A and B are shown apart, each in its own frame.
Chain A
Amino acid sequence: MQDLPDPRTLLAPDRADGSIYSDPDLYDMEMDRIFMHNWIWVAHRSEIPEPGDFITTFVGPHPVIVCRDRQGVVHVMLNRCRHRAATVCELRRGKTASFVCPYHGWAYGLDGTLRGVPHQEGYSGHLDKSSLPLVNLRVEEYNGLVFATFDETIPSLDSWLGRAKPWIDLFMKQGAGWPVKTMGEHKFTFPGNWKIQLENTTDAYHFPIVHKSFLDSVDQETQDTLNFVGGKGFVEDLGNGHSVMVMIPELVDLDENLDAPIPERFAELAAGLSKDYPSEKVRQIIRAVGGSGFNLNLFPNLACSMAFFRVLRPLSATSTEIRHIAIGMDGGPDVANQARLRLHEHFQGPMGFGTPDDAEAWDRVQRGSLAGKNIDILLNRGLGHEARRPDGNLYSDVSAETGMRAAYRQWLVAMTDKAFPAEGEGA
């Protein structure tokens, strides 16, 4: 048997070895130790609002069905028939009363219970249906975010999210008083390792360089707002690999600063909304439409990124799928949600003015990382002036690589020791 790579030799607090982006053995370890033993984000509540609603997605490489049962309980079940393993559902989303395997017709309830087996007499009493439900993962939810894990022993989602929770709450203020709902997604792949994307959502440093052509396409006021490198923002390590990068401090709490002037680009939208809403509400909606001023990175696969969810799915050591899920106000004014959709289209997705340039940069990281051997990836930006908050969180300036260091620290914990420490324990 071949020796597994030793992750401890690949990572130091301020750098990583380039092979972490391409070693297939390391990738297999990640799929097991990270994606089977941590909380993995699978859905937003609004994707399955009613009993019988389901979506299909993945936990690491494992296809799953996320489904709301008749009692309203959310189940995350392996999309694998207990007979001879066929996927029982290939629809992206839908509504159903049961899942019937297309191969021999085994039928499962919304909670995965095996209900019906055609010609069961052929088993002459040797089939215990109650022992063969679709395999259910452990499921927990926080503020609309649904997570699942294979691991029955890890601490609760609540303790896993820990100090990231207040930031999730802040992010959800984009509902402007209404619940947040998803509004479609851009899905694309890039030929590179998933950790390159993980790093990027906590990388403010690249923004004015990679996104020049996006910045060219917006008005001066927006350019000024997005001119945050060197500004008052910060990156903060929230523990368990999570981090927040605050780019625009004025847009952290969208319910505050409601008397701030309405940006010129939203003047027309505000005028339209004023016909139906009082001025205070109009301001709240406008601030929500503009999105939050921070990226919250939740290890390992979700980011609540300014105005959308970024979800990554590793496909192989050198290929990654990214989804940029648009969000809006569930019950909010159509014109405001449409404004959000247009903003999303402007930057995000394979034909946006931002994403293709990001994807090009990640593609180049992957290709460049294959040059030579034993050459480090640097993760030391902002380390010199990194400090600790009273609550213990490490923080540094907005363009620091503090968030990447946080993620890699957790990566190493997960890769070398399957448990993460409960809040208050460990370092």
Chain B
Amino acid sequence: MSITLQDAVALIALEADLLDHGAFRDWLTLYTSDGRYVVPIDPDVEDFESVLNYAYDDAAMREKRVERLLGGRSISAAPPARTVRLLSRYRMLETTDATCTLRCAQHLMELRQGRQRDYAANVTYRLKNTDGGLKIDLKVIRLLTATEALTAVSYIL
């Protein structure tokens, strides 16, 4: 049976909840071992490896990112910004019993040093059925403002 929208949404809602509540180590377990977390700059790019991105994280880089957020040794992340994110407008682009691709909208509010900022993004997930259940194999966060000047984002989108 193909992966259902309900199962897919349950996983990415869990991801959003873990990130907003600082459960970064739990967040790591949601990804496949060769999964990628990508924040591209170019709105049209598909071949992320060949171009400059804001983030192009394999498992090792995701782990380092989490250590940075939890380690208390980064002045921009000690403590990390607090975030609240809303995901919606889900659309299953394709689905089989092994993988599915889902696209949705994300609106994230950030609070740090008394400044509130917000980021809108189109997010595409590729999810994969594994022995350990449904996992994230690819998450691509296409920020609405990706080609504009951003401010420091010392957390996980």
Contact = CB atoms under 8 A, between A and B. Distances in A.
Interface in B41-63: 41-42, 49-56, 61
Interface stretch (B19-27, B70-78, B85-93, B122-130): B70-78
Contacts of B61: 346
B152 interface: yes
A242 interface: no
Contact of B51 (A341, A349, A353, A360): A341
B148 A187 contact: yes
Nearest to A92: B147
Interface in A234-276: none
Interface in B118-157: 147-154, 157
Contact of B75 (A92, A185, A357): A357
B150 A217 contact: no
Contact of A217 (B51, B53, B55, B64): B64
Nearest to A215: B73
B41 A184 contact: yes
B67 interface: yes
A213 B70 CA distance: 10
A22 interface: no
B151 A344 contact: no
A210 interface: yes
Nearest to B154: A356
Contact of B54 (A210, A217, A349): A349
B60 to A, nearest CB: 10
Contacts of B151: 188-190, 350, 359
A321 B149 contact: yes
A213 B52 contact: no
B153 A353 contact: no
B39 interface: yes
Contacts of A338: 49-50
A183 interface: yes
Nearest to A341: B52
B82 interface: no
Given A188-B152, A217-B68, A350-B151, A359 B73 contact: no
A210 B149 contact: no
B39 A210 contact: no
Given A217-B67, A350-B150, A359 B76 contact: yes
A216 B52 contact: no
A326 B73 contact: no
Nearest to B156: A351
Interface string A202-228: 000000001011001100000000000
Contact of A351 (B49, B55, B71): B55
B52 A183 contact: yes
A285 to B, nearest CB: 17
Contact of B152 (A187, A213, A334, A356): A356
Contact of A345 (B54, B68, B76, B154): B54
Contacts of A361: 75
A101 B99 CA distance: 49
B68 A213 contact: yes
Contacts of A297: none
A62 interface: no
A187 B146 CA distance: 9
Interface string A173-198: 00000000001111111100000000
A345 B150 contact: no
A359 B154 CA distance: 11
A342 interface: yes
A355 interface: yes
B71 A216 contact: yes
Query: For B39, B75, B113, which residue has the most chain A Cβ atoms within 10 angstroms?
Result: B75
Query: For B50, B76, B151, which residue has the most chain A Cβ atoms within 10 angstroms?
Result: B76
Nearest to B115: A191
B153 to A, nearest CB: 5
Contacts of B157: 351
A361 B74 CA distance: 11
B119 to A, nearest CB: 11
Contacts of A187: 148-150
Interface of B: 39, 41-42, 49-56, 61, 64-65, 67-68, 71, 73-77, 113, 147-154, 157
Given A187-B150, A361-B75, 17 more contacts: A186-B54, A187-B148, A187-B149, A188-B150, A190-B151, A190-B152, A210-B75, A212-B74, A216-B71, A217-B64, A217-B67, A217-B68, A334-B50, A344-B52, A351-B39, A355-B152, A356-B74
16 contacts: A187-B150, A213-B68, A213-B71, A217-B67, A326-B52, A338-B50, A341-B53, A344-B52, A345-B56, A350-B54, A350-B153, A353-B64, A353-B65, A353-B74, A356-B153, A361-B75
